[in-house]
């Protein structure tokens, strides 16, 4: 009994270590504050740890954890009417480390992107973050958001259209290549 529990604890620890940067990035993009992102990831991992036997044996444990995180964020957002994605100072932006392949990290002014993202309604922001930052398929994003593929397509399209309407933002994001 103790050996199985220890093996399960090690499996969970390995999962957390391997996924921490990506979970933090997603949480940061959803919440906009480093501390709020850390709290969101921690509370998500607390919930997941309790059910790790079931989660760890799922087809895609990362998708399960992402769904728990998005649901937790949505519950918190319902309680709080307004959240600000861009912190008042740059302390949260400095500590958020992007993956080396993250095209958004290559943009000159990441703060402009975060402020633009903050202007989106929560569901549009979730769709844009999951589809374009996390590079999930529409089906995976729909599963994570708990909605239909059509809702993901609609929210992502509306969110991208709003971002494109911000003067100078499309040029900044596409300056490094494709338009």
Question: Per-residue pLDDT tens for 30-40?
Answer: 888 889 899 99
Measured CA to CA, the distance from residue 97 to residue 53 in angstroms comes to 30
pLDDT score of 48 = 92
Please compute the mean of the pLDDT values over residues 151-162 and round it to a whole number. Answer: 94
Please compute the mean of the pLDDT values over residues 137-163 and round it to a whole number. Answer: 92
Start-to-end CA distance of the chain, whole Å, equals: 56
**Residue 178 vs residue 37, higher pLDDT:** 37
Which of the four pLDDT bands, split at 50, 70 and 90, describes residue 82?
very low
pLDDT score of 16 = 92
Closest CA to 168 of 112, 90, 119, 105: 112
CA 59 to chain centre: 20
């Amino acid at each position: 009994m103790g050996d199985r529990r220890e093996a399960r604890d090690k499996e969970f620890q390995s999962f957390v270590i391997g996924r921490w940067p990506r979970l933090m990035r997603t949480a940061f993009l959803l919440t906009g504050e480093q501390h709020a992102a850390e709290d969101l990831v921690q509370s998500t991992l607390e919930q997941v740890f309790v059910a790790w036997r079931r989660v760890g044996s799922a087809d895609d444990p990362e998708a399960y954890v992402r769904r728990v995180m998005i649901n937790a964020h949505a519950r918190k957002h319902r309680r709080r009417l307004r959240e600000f994605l861009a912190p008042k100072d740059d302390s949260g932006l400095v500590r958020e480390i992007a993956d080396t392949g993250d095209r958004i990290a290559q943009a000159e002014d990441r703060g402009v992107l975060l402020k633009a993202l903050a202007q989106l309604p929560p569901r549009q922001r979730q769709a844009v973050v999951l589809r374009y930052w996390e590079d999930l398929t529409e089906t995976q994003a729909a599963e994570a958001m708990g909605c239909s593929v059509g809702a993901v397509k609609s929210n992502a399209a509306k969110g991208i259209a709003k971002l494109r309407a911000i003067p100078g933002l499309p040029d900044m994001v596409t300056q490094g290549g494709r338009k």
